[in-house]
Chains A and B, each alone.
Chain A
């Protein structure tokens, strides 16, 4: 079996009073055991406040465990000496691109991090170009980021992380502000990275259809993992997901409704094509 690139062991995290505007201390992660295999594409789904963003922030040592441990490529995230190595291994993309852009020109922004890592000039040029192409923003390389739309800015932010050539990229709701095409472009860029370059992807999302495209789906509620498996299996637990404030893709919702009405349809027909096929067998 592949080595886990990220491993959490009985991970616990409590925001103490005063931290991030908290009035009282609050336990956010309540014993999370998770192995993220190198090269995999894992989606993490959960309601607001389920702890999924807090979990993500442990994956490159932005937050350190209050209890338990996190290992990144075998390195203990609490080991301050390994901090740079950890950050180089796991890149992070946040929800709001405006907080992530630093330069006045797109390509300079993308070059910012690898330049700081001391990547030689020639290689830097190629990395920046490749990263911008990967997210479909190459033609905007000489534009000013503040004149771009939210979706375009987010893709620049992703390019900035890609340019660091991390082994793993953690994206915290990167498509929340994007239109359907923007989302599709970002998602296919993420998938390409995973498939072609073997970059491990951890995608924190609210979009059921995005989660459905991952190889593995982890569902969080109240600081714990409550479901973990291939999306086709996890989404069949319609009632459990709804009970923790989540929904299922509309395809599953329809098939589930039909089953409630006593019809014999499969619940695992997630894609448009599979769902149409299932209905076809019923109606033809």
Chain B
């Protein structure tokens, strides 16, 4: 796998020299690979928001480096600027950041800033709108007349329209109902596949990351204690609980079952895996 974005001994201290001085990141080595769907989990205050804000140059490291495609993003002004276009960041509750008169103009804001010509902007706006399931008829509406879920999709389209190689989303599903959650996750998956883009999904829902991502990175106390496939990471159930993260509900149920003396593989983390495991165990029991 080819790294697309990396941090080397990245440190960040907030409010240095004041009583609020706080080390948010401590010599963090982080890598995201081209085309992967990465989940980033960590408690409130763990440093994960600080980390993602470094990945597109919104924050400047107080120590260490951030590399995009092998180049230090702070090498010169132009590199920093280009990185911000290549690494798209969708904040929490991005719908509060809509400001234009029409959906079209809001989505076009990013590509316009990139200095693209009118035709290219138009192509990108329409394509981005399609990715998030907004019909052409909605483009001339005021974004403020839309529902919360639609507004969020407009905001995500605005970042997608810059066609970033890395798309970072901070809790994109917060506050949405189950159908809305699945739509947004599906939109993101479509974008990843169409552009071979890297997705970094920040989430508080273990169940959500469990069934969505290929790889997980855990941020705790300004460090990365665990990373790997969901199956690998969720094996550290006890430590994750101590970090205030926990494991998916199915993993918890199966650990209990195991503790009750049932011979079953406890490394399941989704409902369909759990169903498989139960049916397999029953078949095995029947065979004995």
Interface residues of A (CB under 8 A from B): 21-23, 46-50, 95-96, 147, 149-152, 173, 176-183, 206, 209, 245-247, 249-251, 253-254, 257-258, 261, 263, 272-273, 275-276, 279-280, 282-284
Contacts and interface: CB of A to CB of B under 8 A. Distances in A.
B253 A253 contact: no
A187 to B, nearest CB: 14
7 contacts: A47-B180, A48-B149, A180-B206, A182-B43, A206-B178, A251-B249, A276-B257
A273 B250 CA distance: 11
Nearest to A180: B246
Contact of A246 (B145, B147, B178, B282): B178
Closest 10 CB pairs of A and B: A181-B244, A276-B256, A245-B179, A47-B177, A176-B175, A149-B44, A247-B178, A151-B44, A250-B249, A21-B144
Interface string B26-52: 000000000000000011110000000
A261 B275 contact: yes
A254 B176 contact: no
A261 B279 CA distance: 9
A150 to B, nearest CB: 7
Contact of A279 (B178, B248, B253): B253
A89 to B, nearest CB: 27
Contact of A254 (B45, B244, B256, B274): B274
Contacts of A149: 44-45
Interface centre among A21, A23, A179, A279 (most CB of B within 10 A): A179
B211 to A, nearest CB: 10
Contacts of A283: 257, 262, 264, 278, 281-282, 285
Contacts of A21: 142, 144-145
Contacts of A206: 175-178
Given A246-B177, A247-B178, A49 B264 contact: no
A10 B280 CA distance: 51
Contacts of A247: 178
A49 B45 CA distance: 32
Given A276-B253, A283-B262, A177 B174 contact: yes
Contacts of A179: 42-44, 204, 244-245
A177 B206 contact: no
Contact of B256 (A49, A261, A273, A282): A273
Contacts of B274: 250, 254
A66 B84 CA distance: 48
A48 B176 contact: yes
B247 to A, nearest CB: 10
Nearest to B262: A283
A206 B182 CA distance: 14
A130 B177 CA distance: 34
A29 to B, nearest CB: 16
B256 A272 contact: yes
Given A49-B147, A182-B44, A254-B250, A280 B260 contact: yes
Given A179-B244, A257-B271, A245 B177 contact: yes
A144 to B, nearest CB: 8
Contacts of A258: 275, 278-279
A52 to B, nearest CB: 10
A147 B147 CA distance: 30
Interface in B236-286: 244-246, 248-250, 252-254, 256-257, 260-262, 264, 271-272, 274-275, 278-279, 281-282, 285
